[in-house]
Amino acid sequence: MEPLKTKKKVLKTALTRLRDKVASAIKDADSIALRLFESKTSDLFNDFKLLFDSIFVTCKPEELDDFIREKETIDDSIDELRLNVNRRMNKTDPEHSISSVSSCNASVLSDVKLPTLSVQTFNGKIENWIMFKDMFVASVIENKSISNSMKLQYLKASCRDEALRVIQSISISDANFDIAWKLLEDSYSNKRELLNAIIKKLLSQPNISESSSAILNLIDITNECIRSLEVLHYKVENLSETMIVFIIVEKLDKSTRYWWEKELNNSEDFGTLKQLLSFLQSQARTLQNSKIKEVKKNHNFQNNVTSMVSTSNTKSTKFKCVKCQREEFHGLYKCPKFINLSVHDRCEFVKRNNLCFNCLKFHAVRNCTSTFRCQKCSKKHSTLLHYENEKQNRIERPEIGDGINSQSITASSSLNPNAANFESS
């Protein structure tokens, strides 16, 4: 599920960037640029559809409703983007061909093979009617190259559930398109019901967490509701704008609300809706960018840890004899090269390499847990380091006491031969 959520974040970022790019460039865009925008929008629509199809199959049952609502919000954003692009294309090039498709079932398209067209589907929920109507008018009805019978086929292909049942029995003909369209308008254009649905949608938005996706979702639904109100000739201004700002701020998490207060900079003004939405857009981008950087940082850290563990494991499994350096490890007491040394040279080798005088391993004598002792004198040193001459035993291979490092003691005639025995540290 995590890879799907990551892909969703990437696609939502791409949608935000495309929306910003279209908004800034659409006024001066030529037909080629507009077709490119249309193509990219259709690609995003298809990518989101495939993604959410996978999410719906794998998500937990209690998460399904949230994901469905999120997809509907994303679809609305894409439809609005298409609407703007298609409106501009109709003004720039009225004869432009229509591209991208929503699924058209075979029975609907049996009479004529239509050019493929991606139009928002309408399921009969009245709060979605205005967005669907605007999109369908811009993409289909205002397109002069499409006959009325083809428009009716597109209309049937775009409706489902309750909306499809309203027009399902109408046969395909040029004369019947206006009839079908009027039936839908009569069913879903009741102004009072539309206002109730739009205001309810605006007010029922949940309180959000501090995340880019939650903030963007809040922005999208708010913009959609405001545009729907404007279509119904209810302008958002003065007191109504202040009330909407208040409603949206109440939905914010504590951290985002704090930064909004900082944005106002102790001003006595309440803040405009445009100012609030612009702030939220910026906040969402900041959170998205910081999350991407954090993911990269964690990914690099994990790679480093994995590399360190791998290196450590590799090193820990490739022991070599400290004397002959052969990879097929054997104890120093079995090493032919070490055994062939004189007792004096063995002692020097042990001291140089900070080995234990008792078991010949890599620790101090005071930490040695081995119960073995010299087989000749029963003292705490290896038999291989035993001198037959007791004086040489004390000078060449002292048993060093606790707390004294073996490196600080060398085989030297200046050592007191009568000193007490020491153990290696």
- DSSP assignment of 187-209 equals HH--HHHHHHHHHHHHHTPPPPP
CA separation for the pair 221, 225 (Å, rounded)? 6
Q: pLDDT by residue (tens digit) across 132-183? A: 888 888 888 888 878 888 888 888 888 888 888 889 888 888 888 999 999 9
Q: How many CB atoms lie within 10 A of CB 95?
A: 8
With beta carbons less than 8 A apart as the criterion, state whether 265 and 294 touch. no
Strand residue runs (E) in 227-367? none
Residues 6+ apart with CB under 8 A from 84: 22, 23, 26
Answer whether residue 278 shows pLDDT above 60: yes
Q: Which residue has the higher pLDDT, 202 or 109?
A: 202
**pLDDT value, residue 295:** 52
With beta carbons less than 8 A apart as the criterion, state whether 22 and 84 touch. yes
Please report which residue ranges of 160-318 form alpha helices under DSSP H.
161-167, 174-188, 191-203, 212-231, 239-251, 254-264, 273-317
Residues 6+ apart with CB under 8 A from 71: 48, 52
Answer whether residue 113 shows pLDDT above 50: no
Q: pLDDT by residue (tens digit) across 336-361? A: 888 888 888 988 998 888 888 888 88
Tell me the helix, strand and coil percentages in the chain, rounded to 5: 65, 0, 35
CA separation for the pair 112, 151 (Å, rounded)? 11
- Ramachandran quadrant class, 265 (left: phi over 0; alpha: psi -120 to 50; beta: rest): left
Residue 350's closest CA among 360, 340, 335, 341?
Answer: 360
